[in-house]
Amino acid sequence: MNNSRRNFLRRASVLGAGAAVAAGSKTALAQHEGHTAPQPQAPPKTDNRPPTAEGGIVPVEVPDVPRLPWRMEGNVKVFHLVPEVVEWELIPGKKIIGWGYNGHVPGPTIEINEGDRVRIHVTNKLPEGTSMHWHGLEVPPSQDGVPFLNQPLIEPGQTFTYEFNVHQNGSFFYHSHMAMQEMMGMIGFFIVHPKRPYAPKVDRDFGLVLQEWALLPNNPIPNTLAMEFNWLTINGRSGPHSTPMLVRQGERVRIRMINMGMDHHPMHIHGNQFYVTGTEGGRVPETAWYPGNTVLVGVAQARDIEFDAVYPGDWMLHCHLPHHMMNQMVSMVGPMGHAGHGSQTGKGMEEGMGVVTQGHALSEDLGPGMGRGMGMTTQERNVSNAVGPTQQQQGQHQGHGQQQPSPSQGKGSEVQPGQAERLGQVSNPDDTARRKRVPGYPQDMVMFMDKEVAKPHTYGLPPGWTGSFMGMMTMVRVLPPAMYDEIQRRIREGIVEAPQGQPAGQQQHNHE
């Protein structure tokens, strides 16, 4: 799997180099079969150049996702999609096995022009049947991809070919039309550039695919039945591993977002206002644009936003559902770390998200834990923030009650003993025992991965920046020209350095 993925990547990068295109490409080799005479001047037979680098339209950048190569056959753009099992990393060290296309989740980006005729061969390498739906595109019923309604299933090993004209423009996507396969990751962008550029023109055009995954500890295969999701990704990666979008200060930016999952995502950008300029139905007339800094990208929807990047800075762009702003959340964060009293966490992760075999879900036997047990503790603490300590707790902590100041709390504390616990005022962070008695503790945790996720694109970020990036989070870096050029140089030369210098707040701000 890794190997084929690497091969795909290598091929993609070779193709990206332009001239040397045909050399390593199977498709190209196949095309040359039967040709005996050398064709040194022959133009590349496959291509993944942006289709419309001229005419004021910029190619779409989908961070961490390649563009699907294509070749011309007559006047038809020909693509080849391969549904298959894919292994990849959400963040360094967190591997997952999903289903995608051509070695990627989400699948490679199809990018064409309005008016193109496309032919898309789909070779199914999955162990079960699949089919392709071109979401939002007005195609003949025979090409619409609903199995049994419009076509037979594409069985394992089979190739099915779709062909249609595209008369629309906008942010569309392709996906498997098998519901559970969608939740294994089977989606990709299908971007159609307009014949005439939208006004005003943008300088940068980005694409973000929003997905979610339910992953039990030590299990790399997404639980597609789940209704709760603990890993949230943009273009297949969770924060802080998502590659930042780089913008030169003053550029006009478009960001296209599509969502295929069980939840809607309110996508919020910091420090900027944008207009919503497009939906899954295409361009929104300018008279209907409305400003915002948060746009709800519902399931099966596309939303395009545009703004002028005039404020230099590193601006977060993230889903604002609190549970979508973290990684690896396993049920309730707080009680997990507590040994002691409360209801049972469940017998172990095997039972988690599975079938209840002993009594009902809230019974003594299983408790509301439903498999939260991870070996650290067998019971949960009382989790309600609305009530005071239980009788049991009060009994255990005699001497810490409101009426009886404890010796430890007498030292310079202005807060009444007991009261502090309720208010969450723990003056000494090392007083672990006391912290644990504060209702609701702990909630948020922080993890730093500066080195692990360092890329040329992260150059200049403050040490520790990764502590605030989790789940469905990325950022738009609006960079002064010199810094922008320096990072572009580092990308070209492959220079990767972990952050250096002062942590945030201890350096000079570069904006007013």
Q: Which residues bind Cu ion (CB under 5 A)?
A: 265, 319, 321, 324
Closer residue to Cu ion, CB minimum distance, 131 or 238 = 238
Closer residue to Cu ion, CB minimum distance, 324 or 381 = 324
Closer residue to Cu ion, CB minimum distance, 265 or 338 = 265
> What span, in angstroms and rounded, lies between the C-alpha atoms of 350 and 332?
18
Closer residue to Cu ion, CB minimum distance, 207 or 471 = 471
Closest by Cα among 105, 99, 84, 258 to 181: 99
Closer residue to Cu ion, CB minimum distance, 47 or 212 = 212
CA 508 to chain centroid: 31
CB of 332 to Cu ion, least distance (A): 19
CB of 109 to Cu ion, least distance (A): 22
> What span, in angstroms and rounded, lies between the C-alpha atoms of 134 and 137?
6
Closer residue to Cu ion, CB minimum distance, 58 or 321 = 321
Phi-psi region of 495 (alpha: psi -120 to 50; beta: other; left: phi over 0): beta
Are 229 and 222 in contact by the 8 Å Cβ rule? The answer is no
Task: Indicate the burial class of 52 (C-beta count within 10 angstroms; 0-12, 13-18, 19 or more).
Answer: buried
CB of 89 to Cu ion, least distance (A): 21
Q: What is the DSSP letter of 286?
A: G
Amino acid making up residue 333: V
C-alpha to C-alpha distances, 23 to 28, 42, 69, 452, nearest whole angstrom: 8, 12, 14, 34
CB of 215 to Cu ion, least distance (A): 16
CB of 317 to Cu ion, least distance (A): 12
Amino acid making up residue 122: V
Closer residue to Cu ion, CB minimum distance, 262 or 356 = 262
Neighbours of 64 (CB within 10 A): 19
CB of 328 to Cu ion, least distance (A): 16
The b/e string for 293-303 (b: 16+ C-beta within 10 A; e otherwise) is eebebeebbbb
CB of 110 to Cu ion, least distance (A): 25
Beta strands 76-81 and 117-123, pairing class: parallel
